[in-house]
Amino acid sequence: MDTLRGLGELGLGSRLKRVSEYMMKETQIAYNHFNIDFDPYLFPIFKIIVHKDGITNSEIQSSLQYTQPAITQAINKLNSKDLIIHELDEIDKRKKIIHLSKKGKDLLKTIKPIWNSIDAVIKAYTLETSSSLIEHLNSLENKLNTKSFSKAIIEHVDMKVKQHIEIITYRNEYANYFYELNVEWLQAYFYVEPYDEEILGNPEKYIINKGGHIFFAKLDNKVVGTVALMPLSNKGDFELTKMAVSPEYRGHKIGQKLMQYCIDYAKSIGLPKLILYSSRKLENAIYIYKKYGFIEIPVEPNCHYKRCDIKMELVF
């Protein structure tokens, strides 16, 4: 029994608070799902800084109508997350001028599609005619009860990405993306071994010209992921390798899309199986490999990669 709803207009204040807190919490869940390190409560202030580069504490305060210490504290939080940088005003030394940092700009790129989806979901939930504010809140809460806000956001983002993602085959003007995407994640999780450097720097020599294949995931004309099918030395075995997704677009199942494409392609050209090498450190990746049917097999001692401690196989 929802007593708060039963209080009608009298409980409006508490009601608004409850809906607000629910939405904030659910937005946090959606951000977490997409591995975005951001707090929903920082949204208005972050948005203002994005909109007006070089804004000051008190300018933010007057346009948001929060108290000044609230702004100072939020700025400190953004600072501790390295999303902004600030400098002192040359002519008025009391003023603190705030800019987006490199990391802040990167976050902006990553988070924008989520914001678009949040906007779309809220519009879908609230653009309807009703004859009182309470009635509107009732309708919104009913919808949120049937499908959680976070789930609706996540589904909307995924749907958008699904609609716009496209898998394309190698062309030499993409050689650089192949290198960059792979080096990025290797640096983040391990380090770039000489053998990586050699292959990533010469994909045509080591993959294409040896009968292998490289695919790219394109989202709205941006290359956001890659994967390769590389022929192995012994007989006609192929290795599924060099899979990488741009950090800004992780969480959108782009890796899985590339994987499915590779599997379908391998089947279509009559390969009997696929091999892959990985590291047990990458638990999520291993989980996905298993989901797609890969089974662990013994790893040979003289593996190309130092980081490799697991070998898997998918037999068609």
Partner DNA sequence: TAATTTTACATAAGTACTTATATAAACGTT
Partner DNA sequence: AACGTTTATATAAGTACTTATGTAAAATTA
Give the interface with DNA as residue ranges (CB under 7 A): 17, 21, 25, 39, 41-42, 56-59, 66-70, 72-75, 77, 91-96
Residue 262 Cβ vs DNA, minimum distance, rounded to whole Å: 38
Q: How far is the CB of 7 from DNA (least distance, A)?
A: 14
CB 18 → a second copy: shortest distance, Å?
7
CA distances from 180 to 175, 200, 214, 246 (A): 9, 9, 14, 9
Type of residue found at 91: I
Q: Which residues contact 67 (CB under 8 A, 6 or more apart)?
A: 61
Shortest separation between residue 97's beta carbon and DNA, angstroms: 7
- Closest to DNA by CB, 39 or 313: 39
68 touches which of DNA, a second copy, none (CB within 5 to 8 A by kind)?
DNA
| Contacted entry of DNA, a second copy, none for residue 132, CB cut-off 5 to 8 Å set by kind | a second copy
92 vs 173, which CB is nearer to DNA?
A: 92
Compute the distance between CA of residue 294 and CA of residue 8 in angstroms, rounded to an integer.
Answer: 56
* Partner interacting with residue 188 (select from DNA, a second copy, none; CB below 5-8 Å by kind): none
What kind and span of H or E run contains 312? strand 310-315
Query: Among DNA, a second copy, none, what binds residue 122 when CB lies within 5 to 8 Å by partner kind?
Result: a second copy
CA distances, 212 to each of 41, 205, 301 (Å)? 48, 10, 24
C-alpha span between 20 and 137 (Å, rounded): 11
Q: Token digits for 141?
A: 């809460």
Please give the residues from 118 up to 157 whose contact with a second copy meets the rule CB under 8 A.
118-119, 122-123, 126-134, 136-137, 140
Say which entry of DNA, a second copy, none residue 39 contacts (CB below 5 to 8 A, set by partner kind): DNA
CA distances from 304 to 233, 234, 259, 314 (A): 12, 14, 22, 20
Does position 231 interact with a second copy (CB under 8 A)? The reply is no
Give a three-class secondary structure readout of 255-285.
HHHHHHHHHHHHHHCCCCEEEEEECCCCHHH
Q: How far is the CB of 193 from a second copy (least distance, A)?
A: 44
For residue 295, count CB atoms less than 10 angstroms from its CB and return exposed for 0-12, middle for 13-18, buried for 19 or more: exposed
**Residue 148 interacting entry, from DNA, a second copy, none, C-beta within 5 to 8 Å by type:** none
Interface of this chain with a second copy, residues 82 to 121, rule: CB under 8 A: 115, 118-119
Total residues contacting a second copy by CB under 8 A comes to 48
Least spacing, CB of residue 39 vs a second copy, in Å: 12
The answer to whether the CB of 299 falls within 8 A of the CB of 309 is yes
Residues 40-79 that bind a second copy (CB under 8 A): 40-41, 43-44, 47-48, 63-65
Which helix (H) or strand (E) is 295 found in, with range? strand 295-297
Note the residues at the interface with a second copy (CB under 8 A).
1-4, 7-21, 23-24, 27, 40-41, 43-44, 47-48, 63-65, 115, 118-119, 122-123, 126-134, 136-137, 140
